[in-house]
Amino acid sequence: MAQKPSIPKGTRDFSPLEMMRRQYIFDTIRGVFRLYGFAPLETPSMENLSTLLGKYGDEGDKLLFKILNSGDYAAKLNDDEVRQASKICEKGLRYDLTVPFARYVVQHQGELTFPFKRYQIQPVWRADRPQKGRYREFYQCDVDVIGTRSLLCEVELIEIVERVFRALGIRVALKMNNRKILYGIAEAIGHADKMMDITIAIDKLEKIGLDNVKAELLERGLEQAAVEKLQPILELSGDNAQKLAKLKEVLSASETGLKGIEEMETVFRYLEQQKLDLNVELDLSLARGLNYYTGAIFEVKALDFAIGSICGGGRYDDLTGIFGMPNTSGVGISFGADRIYDVMTGLELFPEDVNCSTKVLFVNLGEKEEAASMSLLKDLRDAGIAAEIYPESSKMKKQMEYANRRSIPYVVIIGSQELEEGVATVKDMRSGDQQKVAFAEIVKSIK
Amino acid sequence: MAQKPSIPKGTRDFSPLEMMRRQYIFDTIRGVFRLYGFAPLETPSMENLSTLLGKYGDEGDKLLFKILNSGDYAAKLNDDEVRQASKICEKGLRYDLTVPFARYVVQHQGELTFPFKRYQIQPVWRADRPQKGRYREFYQCDVDVIGTRSLLCEVELIEIVERVFRALGIRVALKMNNRKILYGIAEAIGHADKMMDITIAIDKLEKIGLDNVKAELLERGLEQAAVEKLQPILELSGDNAQKLAKLKEVLSASETGLKGIEEMETVFRYLEQQKLDLNVELDLSLARGLNYYTGAIFEVKALDFAIGSICGGGRYDDLTGIFGMPNTSGVGISFGADRIYDVMTGLELFPEDVNCSTKVLFVNLGEKEEAASMSLLKDLRDAGIAAEIYPESSKMKKQMEYANRRSIPYVVIIGSQELEEGVATVKDMRSGDQQKVAFAEIVKSIK
């Protein structure tokens, strides 16, 4: 019966310390989402495969975890059929929170109040090859508003970014672009049809450099002249206003491009008015891979820690179209909890009290002392202070070790002498200081 | 492309209102767990099937959701093999939180501090036939301490029960029994070998009645005389002390039985000392089906709402044995969030403010007014008040409807006149009252 237990590759156990830190991140993010009036939503872990397939490209389809039909899955199938996943699996684990959100909005459109503001913090699953920082089960923290084209939504999302990372203590820069501008650029160089190719190539600018991007564009069928036309746009410099002014000239013939510029100007104007303490930069090389974006796109990076983007998103005009509800514009962003965790660990940003679950441990010195401790424990807990008693009257050393290993900051000792005097010895485990405190004063003293 | 979207049977979407109520339950439970020094733990949604199989009986094995191996699952299999789930699936979704917890403790025993106190709030999946109140995906809220036999743990768990349901406003009764007493009873009627049969039969006492239980016991191989001996024990009456005194006589020849009685007496003594405001009753008909319990067993029912047990658990002496770590005693309970939700909905126990995500809506009356609103919104959010502005300057009626449908209690109106005067009209949506409030006073006024 005995076996060396393990977990599937690419999955993780989260220890109490990791969990307390993760909850701190989730609670912070959730708290900010709530401040902005977003309400929680949860969808099932499993969706019908018909909901998921074809939404993430061929590569994505392969990465879906499929769930074997219950009962005798092979009963009525011939030998060929039983070799087809589509015959033996009807359900799959969700791959992201966006498609289930779109499915939900379409399915429940009659009950929802639009604009519909929701956040969703749930795990997603991908059968990707596991590697450092890439897992087969990980959480996404999405926030979206759907059913309005108002640019105030973009502004609020940027405010949310600022507020979340300020609360977490992570210095960040937000890069922003607009798909309409990217379309305008494609139009301006005479290749409106190749907007996605150009976008995908531009997306790699930071990773592979200007020359390689140019080479890739040539490969994708752009002629040399068009690629040359693109270069000055990629090398645009100056502040946001200067870049936009320059772009306005270059894209003067593209109605869509001008619309994109106008949207950016509006957002920047709001941000200035709100005096947001956040570096928001127009970055034309920002494209983001997801092809449902149609307006603003965002990406957030940590300034003091080298890691990919820790938050990103954008506006989409037809996410729900795939489920039969066209022309419903929305905008959203997603926080990458795992990377945020890595940044905070790397920069040691977790507050001290996030690392301990118990604030006060009562040492257990026997039955009579226990009784006094139990009554004081009740008072502490009534006051909202996490406290516990060591469950056995073991050796003092063992109990103190327990407190140390669990990072419990205060230990209360009630021995026979203390019991007689009605006082407890309260030890500060960080400083080593000890003091006698009357039973009636313990709650106040710990607080 | 368009398709009528739906979700797999037995699964659920949780709307914002449902989610806010569910989060209220989870947050309450989690808050109490924390007060008692329990730390959070999470394990992966998928476990190796070798971890899960054989732990829940044959019936349980059938109810596991299995995950199809990624890539070409059928590639190297012959036609027979591809019809065997064990060949095409290595992983399954967790069926409960107990087995993954045991697996975690064994796998990480070297890193853990014992007694190890953890709570775990995560979904589990069962391929059960869906029916009213039974889902294929549902949450469990487990709290366990492992690595000590101290009965203080039982007492703390009972305190947790009392505190959780007091916080939620649900009046409950806790029934308690002890497997050692049940063993003692089996011994006393001369059938120590049939303890599980007797236990399972007794478990059905409330459901099927005394006569049917007796019939079932005869079926399970007990002779009439033994069944007759059992009857007075099942009909035991009086308060806990009276029942225990009577039992002590009947079980005087069973060492295990007497140990169980002593354990119960100890727990009751602590509870009395703690003056717990909770009805805790010794109920010999309480057996609970799970066969890993070896000591105390608990079950909690709501007093004012007819539904099964909403919380239950017990002590186990060898949960981790199946993974090669024997003799590690623990005790835990599990809260049934779905049933608690049903009780609270049925009795209308959710506090009013749990039903709204936004406290203040600013009506949007145009660009200039918007600017003033945005600045006030910032102040409200800085003060921790969830607030939003309607993103478009739509008709007043539409915006008020939005506030109503989302149960937003306060609406702030800033029109051109208000803007000039530096005051806002604050409308209490519940009473209909309106009053003018100076911009600088809005935060205070809403608070």
Cβ(B274)–Cβ(B159) under 8 Å? yes
Report which secondary-structure segment, H or E, holds B99.
helix B98-107
**pLDDT exceeds cutoff 70 at A2:** no
**Does B108 contact A15 at a Cβ distance shorter than 8 Å?**
yes
Position A291 scores a pLDDT of 74
For residues A56 and A33, the model is more confident at A33
ipTM score of complex = 0.94
Work out the minimum CA distance from A441 to partner chain B, whole angstroms: 19
Do residues B45 and A45 make contact, with C-beta atoms less than 8 angstroms apart? yes
AA letter at A67: I
* Per-position b or e across A301-316, b if 16+ CB within 10 A of its CB: bbeebeeebbbbbbbb
Q: What is the pLDDT of residues A196-214, one digit of tens each?
A: 788 778 778 878 888 998 8
Least confident range from B124-128, B167-171, B234-238: namely B234-238
Closest CA to A410 of A340, A360, A357, A375: A360
What is the SS3 assignment for B178-206? Answer: EHHHHHHHHHHCCCHHHHHHHHHHHHCHH
Q: What average pLDDT is seen over chain A?
A: 93
pLDDT at A58: 87
Short-list A81, A68, A208, CA closest to B88:
A68
Q: Are strands A89-93 and A66-68 parallel, antiparallel or unpaired?
A: antiparallel
Residue B67: pLDDT over 80: yes
What is the chain A residue with the closest CA to B77?
A: A83
Q: What is the least distance, in Å, from the CA of B269 to any CA of chain A?
A: 11
Q: Which two tokens stand for residue B85?
A: 């789930």
Question: What does the mean pLDDT of chain B come to?
Answer: 93
Sheet of strand B423-428, all strands in order from the earlier edge strand to the far edge: B387-389, B360-362, B410-413, B423-428, B434-438
CA distance A141 to chain B (A): 15
Mean pLDDT value across residues A334-349: 96
Confidence of residue A85 (pLDDT cuts 50, 70, 90): very high
pLDDT tens, residue by residue, A391-420: 999 999 999 999 999 999 999 999 999 999
DSSP conformation class of B272: H
Q: Which chain B residues are closer than 8 Å to A35 by Cβ?
A: 381, 384-387
pLDDT at A1: 44
The residue-averaged pLDDT of A184-195 equals: 88
Residue B428: pLDDT band by 50, 70, 90 thresholds? Answer: very high
Q: Helices in A126-223 by DSSP H: which ranges?
A: 152-168, 179-188, 195-203, 205-219
CB burial of B45-81 (b: ≥16 within 10 Å; e: otherwise) equals bbbbbebbbebbeeebbebbbbbbbbeebbeebeeee
Q: Would the pLDDT of B53 be above 90?
A: yes
The amino acid occupying position B191 is: H
User: What value does the CA radius of gyration of chain A take, rounded to a whole number of Å?
Assistant: 28
Strand partners, A316: A293, A330
Residues 6+ apart with CB under 8 A from B101: B41, B43, B118, B120, B142, B144, B319
Global pTM? 0.94
Residue B1 — pLDDT band, cuts 50, 70, 90? very low
Predicted confidence at residue B3, as pLDDT, reads: 56
Distance CA A411, CA A115 (A): 52
From chain A, pick out residues whose CB is under 8 angstroms from the CB of B37: 357-358, 361, 386-388
- The confidence score (pLDDT) of residue A290 equals 66
Q: Which residue of A has its CA nearest to B406?
A: A113
Task: Verify whether the Cβ–Cβ distance B152 to A44 is below 8 Å.
Answer: no
Among B68, B123, B392, the residue with its CB nearest the CB of A148 is B392
Q: Is the pLDDT of residue A17 over 90?
A: yes
Q: Note the pLDDT of residue A207.
A: 84
Rounded Cα distance between B244 and B260, Å, is: 10
pLDDT higher at B164 or B353: B164
Q: Looking at residues B72-81, what average pLDDT do you find?
A: 94
Q: What is the pLDDT of residues A235-273, one digit of tens each?
A: 888 999 999 999 999 899 999 999 999 999 999 999 999
